Amino acid sequence: MLTSIFVNLPVASVQKSVEFFTELGFTFNAQFTDDQSTCMIVNETIYVMLIEHEKFSGFIDKPIAPTTSTEAIFAFSCESIDEVKSLSEKAFGMGARRINDPEDHGFMFSWGFEDLDGHLWDLFWMNPDHVN
């Protein structure tokens, strides 16, 4: 039924967001990019549209949530514990805020950060043998 997801996120600066997420290893689709928005490719079915506030406001009839509130946490599965650690530490080094300490549950490891625009990202690895 549903084949892909495009998550739309308001950002203060597309340029700064592209620099931040490029450093984390993401790429962007130029076909869906202009001076106020871009399409970040997570994988072949998951995309994140980063849209500057002015343009984003044109799609909604209420205010953009302030960075002092949380509407969602974006949780992404990684290929390994090392990838979770590497991406999280790289994000922290580029100015992302830690939202928690690393959590090791044996079958799952996670760590999260708040990006430059206040969006929360939880990176995790789950042992595939643990999932039924």
Please say whether the beta carbons of 124 and 88 come within 8 A.
no
pTM, 2 dp: 0.89
Q: Where do the domains of the chain lie?
A: 1-61, 70-132
Give the pLDDT confidence score for residue 2 in this predicted structure. Answer: 86
CATH number among 3.10.180.10, 3.40.50.720, 3.40.30.10, 3.60.21.10, domain 1-61: 3.10.180.10
Average the pLDDT over 80-94 and give the result: 97
Give the pLDDT confidence score for residue 131 in this predicted structure. Answer: 73
d(CA 35, CA 132): 45
Average the pLDDT over 62-73 and give the result: 91
Q: Which CATH superfamily is domain 70-132 in?
A: 2,3-Dihydroxybiphenyl 1,2-Dioxygenase, domain 1 (3.10.180.10)
